[in-house]
Amino acid sequence: MLAVSTAARLATKGARRAVVVAGQRQAAVHAVRRNSSVRSFQSVAQTDRDTITRLLYSIGTKREVERHLRIFSSSSHPSQPAKFAVIKVGGAVLAELDELALSLSFLYRVGLYPVILHGAGPQLNDIMEQEGIVPDYIDGIRVTNAKTLQVARRVFLEENLKLVAALEKLGTRARPITSGVFSADYLDKEKYGLVGKITKIDKRPIEASIRAGALPILTSLAESADGQILNVNADIAAGELAKELEPMKIVFLNDKGGMFHGVTGEKLDVINLDEEYDSLMKEPWVKYGTKLKLREFKELLDYLPRSSSVAVISASSLQKELFTDSGARTLIRRGYKLFKHDSIEGIGADRFRQVVQDRDPDVLAGFQSVTGVLTQLSKTPYTIYGDEPLDVLAVVSHPPGEVPVMTKVLPSRAGMLNNVLDNVFNAIKKDHRKLFWTAPAEDENRGWHFERADGSFTRAGKSLFWYGVHDVAEVERIVKDFEAKGRIERSYLPVGPSAPPHRAAGATGAPNGTRSFSTMVRRPFNGVPGSSRGYATAAPTPPSSEPKRLGLIGARGYTGQALTTLLSGHPFLNLTHVSSRQLAGYPLEGYTKDSITYSNLSPADVEQMEKEGAVDAWVMALPNGVCKPFVDAVDRGAVERVEGKGSVVVDLGADYRFERGWTYGLPELYGRSSIRTAKRISNPGCYATSSQLLIAPLIDYIKPGSQPTVFGISGYSGAGTVLENDVASGKPITKPKVSPKSLEGGVKPYALTGHIHEREAGYHLSTLLAADGQGPHGGGGGVKVAFVPSVATWFSGILSTVSIPLKQKMTAREVVELFEERYKGEVLVKIQKEVVQLGDVEGRHGWTVGGFQMSVEGDRVVIVGGLDNLLKGAATQCLQNLNLALGYDEYAGIPKDSI
């Protein structure tokens, strides 16, 4: 525990140091921001964000950090201001200004905009003592006369500006807001003097600050209707602010770091008000300030949605509180009483079905139906555990005399964030000394499962966890018994020490390929079962982990930038050379593994490098028609290469997509075995990728003599970039060829016929017909696709709508089943019921399909598919192809939480 705590402290210090360095760098950027490229500024900000996010992984698992960051980011954006958190800063915390500024700058660096409100009680008392003013309190409220208010206004303004200055020094934009937000009436003028009771909150100054990219820093002074300044307790002001904004998090920073038991002195980790409030308020140690705070917190949470909670922590623990499941605070929430029932009637069959429909990953992926879940449930005795609003639902199957299996554990986002899942799991542990359960290998809550298990197997896209069993032989016996009785849906045990992983129907592993298989068992440590970290056993030979070198030619465009960012997170593949004629001599931005400078490689340079074995792979990110001289140079150099084997070449352009001797790299449709042995790979076009994935499952059902019609609409990044010299710096800067302004808020159709992706999609889809032994479609020489593209005002993301005439009547369910069968087990393919929208694909690494609609006659289907044109449409697909060709795991370096 001491070692873990030390590591966490070091990680936190590292994160804070990164904030300081990032702040210094960004402060420099601010100095020339008016005259420099917004794109360059965004690149610096993204680099800072990536660096600090990686440091966060040291205080929590990568999955929980990125999950919390993704959830918070969705509610902390200039387009959705004031939805992330309200943070009340106590006056004592302001005394540790550097610590506070670092913690708040940390949030700013990862793109979050909390609303910060501070008090200044200790500072006010010090000044009043110096000026001979004796403070007076009634019922814990400071009586405020004109002299006291005069001092308070001065102190509040000074402390506010100190905090703003400390943040700006770190490169964090902040805006002082000392008036205009709180309106108030006199609380009791005769009794308390110039003390206010808040009657109204104006959000506009706060929202304007966030829209401008600055943290709003508020004081708790209010104004009456006639313009009189009134003093308001900062805790009460923070509560009223939270009622108005309804943020995801309400945080009270104090110098003690939480609330503590008045007798034992231990920190109170969680207070569930619905269950504990009445008894707590009767405790003799709950008095004075503690009682007042508990009463205020209860009144606040009674007003807010039940999912809201209050955290009381220190400034130094802010990142651990926000980005880990365990937290670092006193968490106060309303909570719910837990239940357990031996039948679904106990909670209602409709409620149970709805939770399964909305959250079960197998149901959402189409691998199982709700009816199938109910049928499986009825085969053995079971108990359903959960809380009243069903933020968590878990099902434990427990036949007499057998080891229990938790067949379902389905938390909502609120259930995870508010620790309801832990409460439910603890209730299950009280009832069962041993337990096994499964979860998808890519479950965003996977870290939670590992933390609570004594061991696990991971195989074919699923993980099997257990607790209460510490002998491997017993685990294997239990699992074999489960398999024999059908209590788990696939084999988790290796056939032999070097046997390849078994791939069962519905597995999420990649077809035609081997995926890693691992076993983790927590061995006894000093005689204590399960007290050590796990280690791997019984694993077959894994994919290659040999470090290799990559050269990127044409790195200045959006696709090159996206690939550079991905390579920063690749465990083995290192970018060593980048070439751009216009940027030669400038540093490469966005790559965090090493410092690299752009060069201007000629074909002769490339030939010599290939001959000397300088790299293991080349990526050509060049405009169409420009690639051939460089590929020819690689070919010539490979003949004389020292090692006797040439590099892999992946072309992102269209030059080789119809070329014999080149492998077309769309693994989900045309297999992986050919890519694994390929040296020359053509990366599919973005529109063509989505079009082919949309049409392929129905290739045998297209009406003869007709053709599918695809309407595609892409973000303006798909049009590419141009370079212009920045007047201030003299450095070339990247700008879009088609700007949002030029689109005038609308969409612009272009290349209405004959787009190259139209021919590309039809050409390669026709090979599927030949592969199926059915010959040319309709006797017309293969599949023909009609394609119409448009460009829109968003940055990245493609939505493609296909209309396919069918040779027979079909139902939407039948069409969905064809897609489920075709893409069974594909990690980067998501099938959903709803129509795909931009938010489903923008910034994600996979392809999503949905909205299956049939014509009235049932002889035509319309489907929507989408992908990010810079990721699955280009850089992510390129990385898949590189991984396969270089012997790595296909998905190495691809962030699984953004698929």
**Got the DSSP string for 68-134?**
HHHHHHTT-BTTBTT-SEEEEE-HHHHTSHHHHHHHHHHHHHTT---EEEE--HHHHHHHHHHTTPP
Check: CB of residue 523 under 8 Å from CB of residue 532. yes
Q: Which residue has the tokens 């060069």?
A: 599
Which stretch of DSSP H or E encloses residue 566?
A: helix 558-568
Cα(535)–Cα(461) distance, integer angstroms: 19
Mean pLDDT of 852-871: 95
DSSP 8-class letter at 789: E
724-754: pLDDT as tens digits: 665 566 666 667 767 777 787 788 898 888 8
Ordered by where they begin, the domains of the chain are 2-333 (3.40.1160.10), 339-521 (3.40.630.30), 548-655 (3.40.50.720), 686-871 (3.30.360.10)
Cα(591)–Cα(564) distance, integer angstroms: 6
Torsion of CA 732, 733, 735, 737, to 10 degrees: 20
Give pLDDT, residue 376: 85
Give pLDDT, residue 34: 37
Q: Is 457 exposed, middle or buried (0-12, 13-18, 19+ CB in 10 A)?
A: buried
- Classify strands 196-201 and 182-186 as parallel, antiparallel or unpaired: antiparallel
Mean pLDDT of 768-773: 56
Cα(457)–Cα(473) distance, integer angstroms: 13
Q: What is the torsional sign of CA 199, 205, 209, 215?
A: negative
Catalytic (active-site) positions: 686
**How wide is the angle at C-alpha 761 spanned by C-alphas 756 and 766, nearest 5°?**
130
Mean pLDDT of the chain: 80
Q: Spell out the residues 6+ positions from residue 731 whose beta carbon is closer than 8 angstroms to its own.
A: 586, 725
Cα(129)–Cα(52) distance, integer angstroms: 43
Residue 887: C-alpha distances to residues 595, 819, 859 (Å): 26, 29, 44
Give pLDDT, residue 520: 41
Cα(178)–Cα(200) distance, integer angstroms: 16
558-569: pLDDT as tens digits: 888 899 999 999
267 pLDDT band, cuts 50/70/90, is: confident
Mean pLDDT of 756-768: 90
Give pLDDT, residue 787: 95
Q: Quick check: helix, strand or coil at residue 599?
A: strand
Question: Could you report how far apart the first and last alpha carbons of the chain are, in Å?
Answer: 35
- Of 283-292, 590-599, 604-613, 836-845, minimum mean pLDDT range: 283-292
Residue 800: C-alpha distances to residues 670, 695, 837, 853 (Å): 20, 11, 10, 14
Give the start-end residues of each E strand in 412-500: 435-440, 455-459, 462-467
Cα(80)–Cα(426) distance, integer angstroms: 36
Cα(574)–Cα(568) distance, integer angstroms: 8
Residues in the chain, overall count = 899
Question: What DSSP line would sit under 154-175, residue for residue?
Answer: HHHHHHHHHHHHHHHHTT--EE
Q: Is 779 left (phi over 0), alpha (psi -120 to 50) or beta?
A: left
764 pLDDT band, cuts 50/70/90, is: very high
Cα(516)–Cα(497) distance, integer angstroms: 13
Cα(306)–Cα(539) distance, integer angstroms: 45
Give pLDDT, residue 516: 31
**How wide is the angle at C-alpha 401 spanned by C-alphas 451 and 469, nearest 5°?**
30
Give pLDDT, residue 896: 81
Mean pLDDT of 417-439: 87
Residue with the larger pLDDT of the pair 16 and 440: 440
Give pLDDT, residue 315: 80
Provide the b/e sequence for 637-649 (b: ≥16 CB within 10 Å).
bbeebeeeebbbb
Cα–Cα nearest to 81, from 104, 115, 106: 115
Give pLDDT, residue 431: 93
Give pLDDT, residue 745: 79
Mean pLDDT of 823-847: 94
321-375: pLDDT as tens digits: 666 655 556 888 777 678 899 999 998 988 999 999 989 888 887 777 888 888 8
- Classify strands 382-387 and 648-651 as parallel, antiparallel or unpaired: unpaired
Give pLDDT, residue 279: 84
**How wide is the angle at C-alpha 354 spanned by C-alphas 351 and 358, nearest 5°?**
145
- Of 53-62, 162-171, 295-304, minimum mean pLDDT range: 53-62
Show contacts of 201-210: CB within 8 Å, 24+ apart. 201/240, 201/241, 201/244, 203/82, 203/244, 203/245, 205/177, 205/180, 205/181, 206/81, 206/82, 206/115, 206/177, 206/181, 206/245, 207/81, 207/82, 209/81, 209/175, 209/177, 210/78, 210/81, 210/82, 210/113
CB atoms within 10 A of CB 724: 12
Asked if the model's pLDDT at residue 668 lies above 70, the reply is yes
Q: Spell out the residues 6+ positions from residue 88 whose beta carbon is closer than 8 angstroms to its own.
A: 117, 118, 119, 234, 235, 237, 238, 250, 251, 252, 253
Helices (H), 331-465: 349-359, 361-364, 370-377, 413-417, 420-431, 446-452
305 pLDDT band, cuts 50/70/90, is: confident
Across 106-120, 326-340, 393-407, 709-723, which has the greatest mean pLDDT?
393-407
CB atoms within 10 A of CB 337: 10
Cα(220)–Cα(230) distance, integer angstroms: 9
Q: Which residue has the tokens 């609409």?
A: 713
Check: CB of residue 258 under 8 Å from CB of residue 313. yes
Q: Spell out the residues 6+ positions from residue 364 whose beta carbon is closer than 8 angstroms to its own.
A: 832
Asked if the model's pLDDT at residue 542 lies above 70, the reply is no
Cα–Cα nearest to 87, from 110, 118, 123: 118
Reported pTM = 0.45
Asked if the model's pLDDT at residue 885 lies above 90, the reply is yes
Question: What DSSP line would sit under 806-860, residue for residue?
Answer: BSS---HHHHHHHHHHHTTT-TTEEE-SSPP-HHHHTT-SSEEEEEEEE-TTSSE
Check: CB of residue 347 under 8 Å from CB of residue 339. yes
Cα(712)–Cα(103) distance, integer angstroms: 44
2-42: pLDDT as tens digits: 333 333 443 444 445 544 545 544 444 344 343 433 334 34
Asked if the model's pLDDT at residue 894 lies above 80, the reply is yes
